[in-house]
Amino acid sequence: MKVVLFANTDWYLWNFRRSLALALRDAGYEVVLLSPDGPYGEKIRACGLHWQPAPMDRRSLNPLREALLLWHLVRLFRYERPDVVHGFTIKCVVYGSLAARLAGVPARVNAVAGMGYVFTSQSWRARALRPLVRGLLHLALGGRNARLILQNPDDVALFRKARLLDLERARLIPGSGVDCRRFAQGPVRSSVDRVQALLPARLLWDKGVAEYVEAARLLRERQVPVDLLLAGTPDPGNPAAVPESAVREWVSEGLLQWLGHVDDMPTLFRSVQIVALPSYREGLPKGLIEAGASGCALVTTDVPGCREVVTHEVDGLLVPVKDSGTLADAIERLVWDPVLRHRLGVAAREKAVAQFDERIVLARTLDVYAELLGSA
């Protein structure tokens, strides 16, 4: 059996779907990974996986360019003859599924975390594109040999409201999974003089970066002994990208420390006490789960995706979205209460192992493939 995994960046394949590709290979599947060109392609190949660049521009709206991409995918799928095409994010779901249908691929799996920029943004361009994208999604998600994987119940409700979901063909699988053996709880961190809090994410405004910076300003005014760290880099291909100049200005103000891209996230999580993700919406935030598996005390927003990871006062603290004051209060509370930090961190680790370990997610994904290929 052959599977194509198609994503909008090689970074996504490396960070979120490498484990799936390796598990498929070990289970006897032939795997082709497909994305726009980028620096992670060679890393994927170095793992012994087959990666190919695709002529795709994430932000392109040029009809000719998009038609050429679709035709490229059709020709590729006819050449590779995969049994399953598995697409991630809205654009890859649409183009991958349409090309798979045209190429006669037996089975299509589509994984979507939320409705994407076109449905969440209020810009004129996003509103203008919605009818077209809705129609394309109907084509992409339809058919008896297609399955839609969603990451949280809120997304299920959202797709049902948009009339894009056939419950018989939908599967709820919590994210891409986390290696809870690699992200393990470190030594007790309550004896340090200054607590360290971390926001690990792509630098996008909708990850709550502005609220995190304002919380840092409030905590400094209150003279709370905490250092706020930021790990991640801007994503210039995303309309919500935070300019690097803004980050450097916050650093020069002394509000936070910017770590940039970090390769060794398990070590970083073991070195901090608090991890905050004041996101506006998530599918299922992998970084937050990794932090929980590492025994960090979690602070996040009461929004879809995040509230699947954190239950308030049980394994973390939930705060209202876009509320920097309450975010600062939650971080301050954890700074002054090491017992609470430890209790929440232990509970977060237990939840990650029980619900989000990658072995659980991989097994359920393979079940979807087996179900489809059996019917196909």
- Per-residue pLDDT of 260-285, as tens digits, reads 999 999 999 999 999 999 999 898 99
Provide the edge-to-edge strand list for the sheet that holds 317-319: 257-260, 226-231, 195-200, 274-277, 297-301, 317-319
CATH of the domain at 350: 3.40.50.2000
The model's pTM is 0.87
**Is residue 290 in some structural domain?**
yes
Note the pLDDT of residue 192: 56
**Is residue 109 in some structural domain?**
yes
Are residue 78 and residue 7 in the same domain, yes or no? yes
HEC string for 268-296: HHHHCCEEEECCCCCCCCHHHHHHHHCCC
Note the pLDDT of residue 17: 95
Note the pLDDT of residue 11: 93
Are residue 70 and residue 138 in the same domain, yes or no? yes
| Angle (nearest 5°) at CA 302 between 11 and 253 | 65
Bridge partners, residue 275, by sequence: 198, 298
Are residue 286 and residue 256 in the same domain, yes or no? yes
352: containing domain: 195-356
**Is residue 324 in some structural domain?**
yes
Are residue 282 and residue 206 in the same domain, yes or no? yes
Structure tokens at 105: 């691929």
Note the pLDDT of residue 144: 87
The CA-atom distances, in angstroms, between 101 and each of 2, 55, 56, 76 are 16, 19, 19, 13
| Angle (nearest 5°) at CA 52 between 172 and 141 | 30
Are residue 229 and residue 143 in the same domain, yes or no? no
**Is residue 182 in some structural domain?**
no
Are residue 65 and residue 100 in the same domain, yes or no? yes
**Is residue 184 in some structural domain?**
no
Tens place of pLDDT per residue across the chain (376 aa)? 999 999 999 999 999 999 999 999 998 999 999 999 999 999 999 999 999 999 998 777 788 899 999 999 999 999 999 999 999 988 899 999 999 999 999 999 999 876 566 666 667 777 777 777 777 778 778 888 999 999 888 888 877 877 777 778 889 998 889 999 999 987 655 445 789 999 999 999 999 999 999 999 999 999 999 999 999 998 887 888 999 999 999 999 999 999 999 999 999 999 999 999 999 989 899 999 999 999 999 999 999 999 999 999 999 999 999 999 999 999 999 999 999 999 999 999 999 999 999 999 999 999 999 999 885 5
Are residue 37 and residue 89 in the same domain, yes or no? yes
Are residue 153 and residue 242 in the same domain, yes or no? no
Note the pLDDT of residue 140: 79
- What lies within 8 Å, CB to CB, of 147 at 6+ separation is 107, 108, 109, 110, 169, 170, 171, 368, 371, 372
Are residue 367 and residue 276 in the same domain, yes or no? no
Are residue 40 and residue 157 in the same domain, yes or no? yes
Note the pLDDT of residue 168: 81
Are residue 312 and residue 364 in the same domain, yes or no? no
Q: What count of other Cβ atoms lies within 10 Å of the Cβ of residue 275?
A: 28
Structure tokens at 242: 């935070």
As for how many domains the chain has, the answer is: 2
**Which residues in the chain belong to E strands, given as ranges?**
2-6, 30-36, 50-54, 84-88, 107-112, 146-150, 170-172, 195-200, 226-231, 257-260, 274-277, 297-301, 317-319
Note the pLDDT of residue 332: 98
Note the pLDDT of residue 116: 62
**Is residue 62 in some structural domain?**
yes
Note the pLDDT of residue 114: 62
- What lies within 8 Å, CB to CB, of 29 at 6+ separation is 1, 2, 3
Note the pLDDT of residue 203: 95
**Is residue 129 in some structural domain?**
yes
**Is residue 71 in some structural domain?**
yes
Are residue 117 and residue 204 in the same domain, yes or no? no
Contact predicate 273/189, CB 8 Å: yes
Contact predicate 297/344, CB 8 Å: yes
Note the pLDDT of residue 121: 65
